[in-house]
Chains A and B, each alone.
Chain A
Amino acid sequence: MNQEQIAEKLLDKFGLDVVQTAVTFLDQITVTVAKEKILEVCTFLKEDPELAFNFLSFVAGVDRYPKTPRFEMVYQLSSLTRRHRFRIKALVEESEPGSAIIDSVFSIWPTADWHERETAEMFGITFRNHPDPRKLLLPEEWTCHPLRKDFSLYGTDEDTPDLPHKAGSQGI
């Protein structure tokens, strides 16, 4: 199936309430789906025999600060049997610190385990029902999220106490 057919199939199945936008750039389409339905959509994408997205390449976050909703969760999928790829997104709002939450897709693709843990510590997004929500790369005591756009390249004394802090730096 090509990208348009996959997007149409998603739209037929879930309707406009769930499939919110589809943006085409060159030969790739990015479909944005409702955050609340992410598990349902992912389950369908994996189990539908025509789609058969059995391989999750990665899960990643994108910070659109200061826009709202602030975060995008990106799921890059691949089907090793059907030999096609597709990308879906979900928008995640953070109305107050720590309120960015989305369901974990670990139960569908176990490889999401490390990807989601990395995204959680880098962006501060919580993955509901993640089986092992420990930090993966950063020190446990760090409270900051380095891939957020408002995180200074030089760190801060409070958030990154073990980094050499550059006095007077405005960061990025």
Chain B
Amino acid sequence: MPEQVSLKDSSRSETIELNLGPHHPSTHGVFRAVVQLDGEMVVDIVPHLGYLHRGYEKTCENKTYHNVIPLAERCDYMGASSNSLCYCLTVEKMLDVEVPERAQVIRVIMAELSRIFSHLFWLGTHGHDVGAMTPLFYMLREREEIMNLFELTAGGRLMPNYLRIGGLIRDLEEGFVERVRAFTGHFDRRVDEYETLLTKNAIYMDRTKGIGILPLEDAIALGASGPMVRGSGLAWDIRKSEPYSGYEQYQFDVPVETGCDIYSRYLVRVAEMRQSNRILKQAVDKLPEGPIRASQPGVIFPPQEEIYTKMESLIHHFMLVVEGVKPPAGEYYQVIESPRGEMGCYIVSDGGAKPYRLKWRAPAFVNLETLARMAKGFFFADLIAILSSIDIVLAEVDR
């Protein structure tokens, strides 16, 4: 029998181990970490993943190229359109397909709506993790508007499944552009409201300034990307450094902070929402008329109306459904700037109708590696705030 410890005697000389999660409000799903504590101070932390594993990559290797798109969206349901964009870009490069201008602009609109959508939910839950409940209600309000936009144009609210290899599944619904304009018109004022709640809030600042320090050198060594590395002082955004989908045509800034702490990461994400709103305004202004899907018989699905009127289109459609596309043998790595950082898709093709190997470079998985580096030496209560500042999506971490 272990020795009975008096409740009145609070002195301890040894460290204790405490399980954080998997069922804990701040672990955002099923993340578990074994934390070694000296009093309330974190001495060490060992993350244990592996509760959700669905075999995403294995499943992709047993699906045709078109069938992978909805799986990719489920990998990070907070930035679903970013995922399908990354995957579609990779396959389009391998197939040498040129996506029409209108489809590219609409993809940018969907990707930036996804970024705002993701950052909003992060900000709400992050506020909740540090003890502020009001922000979550505010964020859900705007998030609902974006989900309504997704629903209007694609049917799905959380995972629109709207992108296709070569373009989009269908054109925008009537009224979509006007509703995006209305959203972008008032969204900056909404961000002002969020900042009123947190940016100068003394409690929030006390809980986040100087907490969870991640020096730039460590961030790079540990593979951190996105707001994690921009909060540590590096102006690195793939939309600028390796533009895709026409991002070089948009005016926007890359927010950078040098505090290397939770507060810096907060400021970066808030500023990013404003920049995404800026991109959205430009995108709806420049949205050209034209086709929304590349025309490459035998590679890209023909328009639905042609299937009923043209025999060739019917044959191409049938062959694509039955056999799928077959990129030439080779391997390709495509990156995009997802809400969480460098999202990459590496595909090895053997010339067949299914990816021979598909590796998903998930930013949340890699960013989570920084947790131990950031948490050591801080209070256990800070650990919750530090974890939430990474912005993990467990489906992506444990895919």
What is A's interface to B at a CB cutoff of 8 Å?
Answer: 23, 25-26, 28, 30, 54-58, 60, 62-63, 74, 76, 80, 83, 85, 87, 109-111, 113-115, 135-139, 146-147, 151, 153, 172
Contact partner of B361 (CB less than 8 A), chosen from A76, A109, A110, A151, is A76
Please name all residues of chain B whose beta carbon is closer than 8 Å to the beta carbon of A28 when the two chains form the complex. 331-333
Q: Across the interface, do A109 and B365 meet the contact criterion of CB distance under 8 Å?
A: no
Q: Across the interface, do B220 and A25 meet the contact criterion of CB distance under 8 Å?
A: no
B143 to chain A, nearest CB (A): 30
Please name all residues of chain A whose beta carbon is closer than 8 Å to the beta carbon of B234 when the two chains form the complex. 80
Q: Across the interface, do A137 and B50 meet the contact criterion of CB distance under 8 Å?
A: yes
Q: Across the interface, do A147 and B365 meet the contact criterion of CB distance under 8 Å?
A: no
Please name all residues of chain B whose beta carbon is closer than 8 Å to the beta carbon of A113 when the two chains form the complex. 369
Judge if B53 is at the interface, Cβ distance under 8 Å.
yes
Q: Interface readout for B242-261 with A: 1 if CB under 8 Å, 0 if not?
A: 00000000000000000000
CA distance A146 to B333 in the complex (A): 22
Q: Across the interface, do A26 and B93 meet the contact criterion of CB distance under 8 Å?
A: yes
Contact partner of A74 (CB less than 8 A), chosen from B94, B96, B342, B359, is B359
B186 to chain A, nearest CB (A): 37
A89 to chain B, nearest CB (A): 9
Q: Across the interface, do A137 and B49 meet the contact criterion of CB distance under 8 Å?
A: yes
Please name all residues of chain A whose beta carbon is closer than 8 Å to the beta carbon of B365 when the two chains form the complex. 114
Contact partner of A138 (CB less than 8 A), chosen from B50, B222, B359, is B50
- With both beta carbons as reference points, the residue of chain A lying nearest to B234 in the complex is identified as A80
Q: Across the interface, do B348 and A110 meet the contact criterion of CB distance under 8 Å?
A: no
Q: What band does the interface of chain B fall in when counting residues whose beta carbon is under 8 Å from A?
A: 35 or more
Tell me how many residue pairs across A and B have CB atoms closer than 8 Å: 84
CA distance A109 to B219 in the complex (A): 11
Judge if B167 is at the interface, Cβ distance under 8 Å.
no
A61 to chain B, nearest CB (A): 8
Please name all residues of chain A whose beta carbon is closer than 8 Å to the beta carbon of B58 when the two chains form the complex. 146-147, 151, 153
Q: Across the interface, do A57 and B342 meet the contact criterion of CB distance under 8 Å?
A: yes
* Chain A to chain B contacts (Cβ below 8 Å), 29 pairs: A25-B332, A26-B96, A26-B330, A26-B332, A56-B223, A57-B335, A58-B359, A60-B359, A74-B359, A76-B333, A76-B361, A83-B241, A85-B333, A87-B333, A109-B223, A111-B222, A111-B223, A111-B366, A111-B369, A114-B365, A114-B369, A136-B50, A137-B53, A137-B398, A139-B50, A146-B55, A147-B58, A151-B58, A153-B62
Assess A76 versus B344: contact at CB under 8 Å? Given A30-B331, A111-B369, A114-B365: yes
Given A109-B223, A139-B50, 19 further pairs, Cβ under 8 A: A25-B330, A26-B93, A26-B96, A26-B330, A28-B333, A30-B331, A57-B361, A58-B346, A62-B356, A62-B357, A76-B344, A87-B333, A111-B222, A135-B50, A137-B50, A138-B53, A146-B55, A151-B58, A153-B62
Judge if B142 is at the interface, Cβ distance under 8 Å.
no
Judge if B236 is at the interface, Cβ distance under 8 Å.
yes
Q: Across the interface, do B357 and A110 meet the contact criterion of CB distance under 8 Å?
A: no
A78 to chain B, nearest CB (A): 8
Judge if B57 is at the interface, Cβ distance under 8 Å.
yes
B240 to chain A, nearest CB (A): 10
Q: Across the interface, do A57 and B50 meet the contact criterion of CB distance under 8 Å?
A: no
Q: Across the interface, do B223 and A55 meet the contact criterion of CB distance under 8 Å?
A: yes
Judge if B221 is at the interface, Cβ distance under 8 Å.
yes
Q: Across the interface, do A57 and B223 meet the contact criterion of CB distance under 8 Å?
A: yes
Assess A26 versus B94: contact at CB under 8 Å? Given A58-B344, A60-B346, A139-B50: yes
Please name all residues of chain A whose beta carbon is closer than 8 Å to the beta carbon of B331 when the two chains form the complex. 25, 28, 30, 87
A44 to chain B, nearest CB (A): 18
Q: Across the interface, do B220 and A55 meet the contact criterion of CB distance under 8 Å?
A: yes
Q: Interface readout for B331-357 with A: 1 if CB under 8 Å, 0 if not?
A: 111010000001010101000000011
A123 to chain B, nearest CB (A): 11
Q: Interface readout for B53-69 with A: 1 if CB under 8 Å, 0 if not?
A: 10101110010000000
- With both beta carbons as reference points, the residue of chain A lying nearest to B241 in the complex is identified as A83
Please name the 10 residue pairs, one residue from A and one from B, whose CB atoms are nearest each other, closest first.
A111-B223, A25-B330, A137-B50, A60-B359, A58-B361, A62-B357, A110-B221, A111-B222, A137-B53, A114-B369
Q: Across the interface, do A172 and B62 meet the contact criterion of CB distance under 8 Å?
A: yes
Please name all residues of chain B whose beta carbon is closer than 8 Å to the beta carbon of A83 when the two chains form the complex. 241
Please name all residues of chain B whose beta carbon is closer than 8 Å to the beta carbon of A60 when the two chains form the complex. 346, 357, 359
Please name all residues of chain A whose beta carbon is closer than 8 Å to the beta carbon of B96 when the two chains form the complex. 26
B192 to chain A, nearest CB (A): 33
CA distance A54 to B58 in the complex (A): 30
CA distance A135 to B330 in the complex (A): 31
A101 to chain B, nearest CB (A): 21
Q: Across the interface, do A147 and B236 meet the contact criterion of CB distance under 8 Å?
A: no
